Amino acid sequence: MRTLLTLTLAALCSAGALAQQAPPTSQSTGSATTPFLARRGLVRCGTPNIIPGSWNFNPPSDCTANSTNPTAAYEPTEIWEITVVFHILRDSNGSGNVTDARCNSQIDILNEDFQAMAGTPGSPGYDTMVQFKLATVDPSGNATNGINRHTNSTWHNDGGNYYNSLAWDPHHYLNIYCNEASGALGYVPWLPQSGTPGSNSDRVVALYSAVGRNAPIGAPYNQGRTVTHEVGHYLGLHHTFNGGCGGGNCYTSGDRICDTNPESGPHFGCGNSTSCGGSDPVSNYMDYTDDQCMNEFTHEQTRRIRCTLQYYRPNLAQPVGGGGLGTSYCQSNLNSTGLRATLDVAGSPTVSDNDLTFTVNDAALNQFGYLLMSLNQGNINGFGGSMGVLCLGAPMIRFSGNVLNTGNNGTVAFSPDLTNLPQNTVFLPGDTWNFQLWYRDHVLNPTSNTTDGISITFQ
């Protein structure tokens, strides 16, 4: 079994110190001689590059800062939805506003790009099956439109650690702050693999005038792709030109992705270019191309995004369309009955009702087992020599103190006491917990298997 280790970084370089430089003066956008960004004193993206070898998270090893394993386990099979809150930080002189309409259009753009929607500019890409929506409920349970406005000149200028005052629980909300973005079009402070996801500073920052469709900054950065680019970082993607041409294994050098061609440096403007012995990935959202030229995440970028959500942001995205109290995910393997055991749940997600009933079907006959639970999801085939699939990430807790028996029909139902959980655990409103039954199967070798996983968001 894999064990997730939480690594606290003693120090991180500031976004400004590692900000990307302005494009070369040979670029012509809006003027024959003066680059668009340089003319405004801006940089394209202030997200710091990852220095190879500077961080080493163990495990999960599939999507660390320094490597990618694009295994089929991370192929999207269901839509995962991320709840977004915009914080509009205006200057005391009244500048810096972003209208509701522009915020709503930015959500539309994110969905077009991350879901490669047909008939939209994002259609040529690979569908990550990640969906975005504006928050309708705040962390206190109050109704909201997901757009908050604050007037504070220091915050507008990206100072004053505003996120400590304003952040909505970053474990469950994507916080997007719209201000001057420290002289960049946008940035994130770090990739989740190299920072502290879930802390107040975990955020996306966007230049207020570049947010939404037909944004007032004007072409070529007015079609909302700045936020798409920065959310790509937020979900674990490097720049396509990270590390230049790289070298050796493309999963451990460059941008840690093999189906994006290596690129010696960022590409500005539109049009094809070549470096590192091949065509540059100029249409990729993680390059520096003009908004109108960006149109894709690749297949392997998609798997890295899904891996990042599973391990580094396990409570951020929620499955869509589960159709019931719990949402099944992570299908297990056949057992000695020739079937895959399933886990279902009925009752109310409200903890105080304390009426959940779990039901196991199609397990091996007359076998004992335990219900396991975790805040984190996993997908590890044949873990520890088992025939099953481990659908939970560490740390895992054994839910029921009693041994469960599948009986003559391979089924068992049980109703645990939610007010008396093991290891001082509590189910808090808004938390998503994942459950799975491990059980013996003496006919097989190895002699154990699992149900599928089921996810419950408590109220």
Q: List, by residue number, the catalytic residues.
A: 230
DSSP letter assigned to residue 369? E
Answer whether 390's CB lies under 8 Å from 380's CB.
yes
Task: Using alpha carbons, select from 392, 375, 374 the residue that is nearest to residue 383.
Answer: 392
> Whats the size of the chain, residue-wise?
459
Answer whether 67's CB lies under 8 Å from 252's CB.
yes
DSSP letter assigned to residue 74? G
Answer whether 66's CB lies under 8 Å from 256's CB.
yes
Query: What would the two tokens of residue 134 be?
Result: 């504006």
Q: Quote the CA–CA distance of 282 and 239 in Å, as a whole number.
A: 11
Q: Quote the CA–CA distance of 216 and 220 in Å, as a whole number.
A: 11
Q: What angle in degrees, to the nearest 10, is found between the helix axes of 225-234 and 100-114?
A: 60
How is 297-362 classified by DSSP, letter by letter?
A: --HHHHHHHHHHHHHTSTTTEEES---SSSEEES---B-TTSSB-EEEEES-S-GGG---EEEEES
Query: What would the two tokens of residue 325 be?
Result: 């109290």
Each residue of 188-198: b (16+ CB within 10 Å) or e? bbbbbbbbbbb
Beta strand residue intervals within 51-153, DSSP E = 80-90, 130-134, 147-151
Q: Quote the CA–CA distance of 78 and 58 in Å, as a whole number.
A: 27
DSSP 3-state of 374: strand
DSSP letter assigned to residue 163? H
